[in-house]
Chain A
Amino acid sequence: MDLFEWIALILKLVFVLAAVLNTVPIVVWFERRGSAWMQGRVGPNRVGPFGLMQPIADVIKFIFKEDFVPEQASKFFYHAAPVLAAVAPLAAFAAIPFGSYLIIGDRQVPLQIAQLDVGILAALAFAGLEVYPVMLSGWASNNKYSTFGALRGSSQMVSYEIGLGLALVSMLMIYGTLDLNAMVKYQEQTLWGFLPSWGVFLNPVAFVIFLVAIFAETNRLPFDLPEGDAELVGGYHTEYGSTKFLMFFFAEYIAMIMASSLLITLFFGGYAPLPGMKAGVDVLASALGFGSVGTQNLWAVVQVLSMIFKVGCVMFFFVWVRWTFPRFRFDQLMDLGWKILFPLALINLLVVAIFIAMLGG
C-alpha cells in the first residue's frame, strides 16, 4: 500500500465512524419523539429546537453520574463487556460497501473499508460477537437479574442466528457470491423491465425470516427479553451505570444500524439507487458540464446518499415496530425461532435450490 491508499483508507474509516456515531443520537432522538408521536404525545421538545439537543443532554447526564462498580463483580470482564459491545458492531461496518467507487486523479477509490471477497462472512462474524458482551456483562456483574438477562440473551441470539444464517444461505445461492459489492451489482439489474431485482422481490420469505432474526439479534422490542425492563430491571446491564451504560446504549443502536445496513445490502439493493436514477444523474452531470470522471463521482455521492436514506427507512421501521408490538413470552420466542423460522428457512432454502437448478443458474 502506498501513501495514497493509506490516506484514502483513513478518510474512509473516519467517514464511516463519524457517520455511524452521529446517526446514533439522531436515532435516539427519533426513538423518543417518534414513540411520542405514535402514542399521541409530544415527547421531549424543550432542549434545543424540536428537542434535538435532548441526546446531548442525556449523554451529559450519563457522564456526570457516579462511575459505579459492584464489589463482587469480576472487574476485568465487567469493564471489557461494554467495550466489546461497542467495538463488535462497529468492526462489522468494515465489510459493508456504502458506494461503488470515487475517481480521484486517475485512481479508483472503492467506497468500502475492506474489499473482502467473503465480506458477508466477515460482517456476520463481527455481528456474531455481539453475544459475548451480553454473556460477559451478565456473568461478571454477579447479579441475579444480570445473569437471567445474559441467559436469555445468549440463548435468543444463538437460536435466531440459525434462521438468519439459513435465510442468508438462500440469498447467497441466488447471488452466487459472498462479496457484498458483487451482490449490490447483481441487484442493480432490473426484473421484468421495471422492478429493481432486489433480494426482497427475489426471495420475500428469506426477507421476512432475516428481518425477524435481526430484530432478535439486536434485542429490539418484540424480542427484548435480555433487557426485560418489567421483570429483570435492566437485564444484563442492570449493574452498569454512567459511561459504561452509555457504551451499551450506543452499542445497541450501532448494532441496529449495522443490522439494517446488512439487511439493505442483501435485500434492498445496498447503495444502488432506483434503476431509473442513473439516467437522471447522467442528465444532471451533462447539464453541469461534468466529464466521465465527474459523472462517476456524482453518481457515487448519490449512491452514498441513497444508502443513508435506506438505512434511515429501516431505522424508522425499527422504531415503528418497537412502539407497536408487545413483547413475546420466552417460550413463544423459542417456539418462533425453532419451530417456525428454522423449518421455514429450510423449506425456503430447498425451494430456492430447486428453482435455481431448474433455471440452470
Chain B
Amino acid sequence: MAIIVSRKERFLDKLYIPALLVGLKVTFRRFFESLFLGRTMTIQYPEQKREYSQRFRGEHFISVDANKVENCTSCYLCQTVCPAECITIIAEERPNDQNPYGVRKEKRPVRFDIDALRCCFCGFCEEACPKDAIKLSRNYEMAVETRAQAFYDLDHLKREVKGRG
C-alpha cells in the first residue's frame, strides 16, 4: 500500500533556485576537494592496485614442499567436488626416489589440468583437499591472449606463490 506523503512547499521551495544553488555548492565542493586536496575515488590501475580481502579467491596454484614436490596425492576429491567440472587429474604411482616421505605421497598427478574459463572460483576444491595442495591465490590479473593459456597445467600450477599472493 502506498503511503501518501504531502510536503508543504514554501514559496522559496517552489522557485527551485535555492535547491539549485545547494546542488551547485555540492559539486563545487567536490571539485575543490578532487582538484586541490586530491581526494578522488579513482584507483589508477596499473600503478595502483586495489587491496582485496585476505580471503579473495583468485588464480589457482598447487603448493609444493621443501623439495619442490607437489603436495597433491591425486585423491580426486577436488575433481569430484568441483561444480564446474573444470579439474582433470590423471594419476600414477610416484617413483620411490621422488618420494622421500615414504607412504605419505604414494600417488602423484601425471596431469593436473584446470580450465580457468570454466572455473567459477567457488573454492570447493581448496576446502575438499586433504593435503592443502590446491589453493586459490589472491592474484586477480588472469587475462590471457589465447584460450590455451587459460588451460592451466601442472607446471603452471606449481609456480611459486608466496603466502597466497
Contact among B20, B34, B42 for A38, CB-based, below 8 A: B34
A76 interface residue (CB < 8 Å to B): no
List the one stretch of B22-30, B89-97, B111-119, B133-141 in contact with chain A.
B22-30
List, in ascending order, chain A residues with CB within 8 A of B6's CB. none
**Chain B contact residues, majority secondary structure:** helix
A34 and B31 in contact (CB under 8 A), knowing A320-B24, A321-B24, A325-B20? yes
CA distance A320 to B24 in the complex (A): 7
Count A interface residues, CB 8 Å: 13
Q: What is the 8 Å Cβ interface bit string for chain A, positions 25-53, against chain B (1 contact, 0 not)?
A: 00000000010111111100000000000
A37-B24 in contact (CB<8A): no
A324-B41 in contact (CB<8A): no
Q: What is the 8 Å Cβ interface bit string for chain B, positions 1-43, against chain A (1 contact, 0 not)?
A: 0000000000000000000100110111011011100011110
Nearest A-chain residue to B26, judged by Cβ: A324
CA distance A36 to B40 in the complex (A): 9
Nearest A-chain residue to B36, judged by Cβ: A37
A37-B23 in contact (CB<8A): no
A323 interface residue (CB < 8 Å to B): yes
Nearest A-chain residue to B28, judged by Cβ: A320
CA distance A102 to B163 in the complex (A): 74
B35-A37 in contact (CB<8A): yes
B44 interface residue (CB < 8 Å to A): yes
A323-B41 in contact (CB<8A): no
Nearest A-chain residue to B39, judged by Cβ: A40
B42-A41 in contact (CB<8A): yes
Minimum Cβ distance to chain A for residue B136 (Å): 31
List, in ascending order, chain A residues with CB within 8 A of B27's CB. 38, 320, 323-324
Minimum Cβ distance to chain A for residue B1 (Å): 27
B23-A325 in contact (CB<8A): yes
A36-B26 in contact (CB<8A): no
List, in ascending order, chain B residues with CB within 8 A of A36's CB. 34, 40, 42
List, in ascending order, chain A residues with CB within 8 A of B44's CB. 42
Count B interface residues, CB 8 Å: 16
Q: What is the 8 Å Cβ interface bit string for chain A, positions 311-353, against chain B (1 contact, 0 not)?
A: 0000000001101110000000000000000000000000000
CA distance A321 to B26 in the complex (A): 11
CA distance A41 to B33 in the complex (A): 11
Minimum Cβ distance to chain A for residue B92 (Å): 52
Minimum Cβ distance to chain B for residue A26 (Å): 16
B34-A40 in contact (CB<8A): yes
Q: What is the 8 Å Cβ interface bit string for chain A, positions 115-143, against chain B (1 contact, 0 not)?
A: 00000000000000000000000000000
Minimum Cβ distance to chain A for residue B159 (Å): 31
B41-A41 in contact (CB<8A): yes
CA distance A37 to B37 in the complex (A): 11
List, in ascending order, chain A residues with CB within 8 A of B34's CB. 36-38, 40-42
CA distance A212 to B21 in the complex (A): 14
Nearest B-chain residue to A40, judged by Cβ: B41
B31-A37 in contact (CB<8A): yes
Minimum Cβ distance to chain B for residue A209 (Å): 12
B30-A40 in contact (CB<8A): yes
List, in ascending order, chain A residues with CB within 8 A of B42's CB. 36, 40-42
CA distance A41 to B27 in the complex (A): 12
CA distance A42 to B47 in the complex (A): 14
List, in ascending order, chain B residues with CB within 8 A of A42's CB. 34, 40, 42, 44
Minimum Cβ distance to chain A for residue B123 (Å): 33
List, in ascending order, chain B residues with CB within 8 A of A38's CB. 27-28, 30-31, 34
Minimum Cβ distance to chain A for residue B13 (Å): 15
Nearest A-chain residue to B32, judged by Cβ: A37
Minimum Cβ distance to chain B for residue A152 (Å): 22
Q: Which of B66-120 contact A (CB under 8 A)?
A: none
CA distance A39 to B40 in the complex (A): 8
CA distance A40 to B33 in the complex (A): 8
A-B complex: 4 closest residue pairs judged by Cβ atoms: A37-B34, A42-B42, A324-B27, A38-B27
User: Other CB < 8 Å A-B pairs besides A37-B34, A39-B30, 16 of them?
Assistant: A36-B40, A36-B42, A37-B30, A37-B31, A38-B28, A38-B30, A40-B33, A40-B39, A40-B42, A41-B34, A42-B42, A320-B24, A323-B27, A324-B24, A324-B27, A325-B20
Residues of B within 8 A of A (CB): 20, 23-24, 26-28, 30-31, 33-35, 39-42, 44
Could you write out 10 A-B pairs with CB less than 8 Å apart?
A: A36-B42, A38-B27, A38-B28, A38-B31, A39-B30, A40-B30, A40-B34, A40-B39, A42-B40, A325-B20
